[in-house]
Chains A and B, each alone.
Chain A
Amino acid sequence: DTGVSQDPRHKITKRGQNVTFRCDPISEHNRLYWYRQTLGQGPEFLTYFQNEAQLEKSRLLSDRFSAERPKGSFSTLEIQRTEQGDSAMYLCASSLGWGSDSPWYGYTFGSGTRLTVV
């Protein structure tokens, strides 16, 4: 297992086009997270999955954004009708998690997908 993989590394798209990103987490991690990071800012939470269930979505995640994790393994994040404001680094992370009382050792992040909307 080589850690969390994200594909593609870079994506340039024209405004109004749809884009889809993929994340492959560490295989034994049951939780998968999507974050967005704009220039000069820290990562901002978008959504997370426990196995195949999407349990939380941020208000940052507009109706144009949709995420799936169909078999509890890899996940996709789709942005429809992209806007210039969507330009950012999209980070995926995975972790083990099974309850609020359990020890938690932090995320393992992927390298991210940098989206540029022109």
Chain B
Amino acid sequence: AQRVTQPEKLLSVFKGAPVELKCNYSYSGSPELFWYVQYSRQRLQLLLRHISRESIKGFTADLNKGETSFHLKKPFAQEEDSAMYYCALRMNNNAGNMLTFGGGTRLMVKP
């Protein structure tokens, strides 16, 4: 069965420092990976998808199939980045589009 692991429950950095939120997955097929973010008192929302190869709010994530990882990175953290971040996996040819989520990492950016 597929599984998504986010090893850090909490990551605390100072403003301007680099950030890396780790995500590892296990899945025998070819997955699609996503990062979702939940800011305080807001609903869960899509941040970025690996197939888009895009940078959103300065965040990037590269799918590394060899290491089965999809780490989220930002070179200079901002206080407004403080939020819960969830990595999620969609199985290839998953016509239902169900997602398997990791347990989440809380990012705190200190001034």
Residues of chain A having any CB pair with chain B under 8 Å:
4, 31, 33, 40-45, 48, 50, 55-56, 91, 95, 97, 99-100, 104-112
Contacts and interface: CB of A to CB of B under 8 A. Distances in A.
A106 B46 contact: yes
B46 A43 contact: no
- Mostly helix, strand, loop or mixed at chain A's interface? loop
Nearest to A111: B43
A43 B96 contact: no
Nearest to B46: A106
A41 B103 contact: yes
Interface of B: 4, 6, 9, 32, 34, 36, 43-46, 49, 86, 88, 90, 93-104
B101 A42 contact: yes
7 contacts: A42-B88, A44-B101, A45-B99, A48-B97, A48-B98, A106-B36, A108-B45
Tell which of B43, B93, B103 has the most Cβ of chain A within 10 Å: B43
Contacts of B36: 106
A82 B101 CA distance: 25
Contact of B94 (A4, A100, A108): A100
A41 B104 contact: yes
Contact of B96 (A41, A56, A91): A56
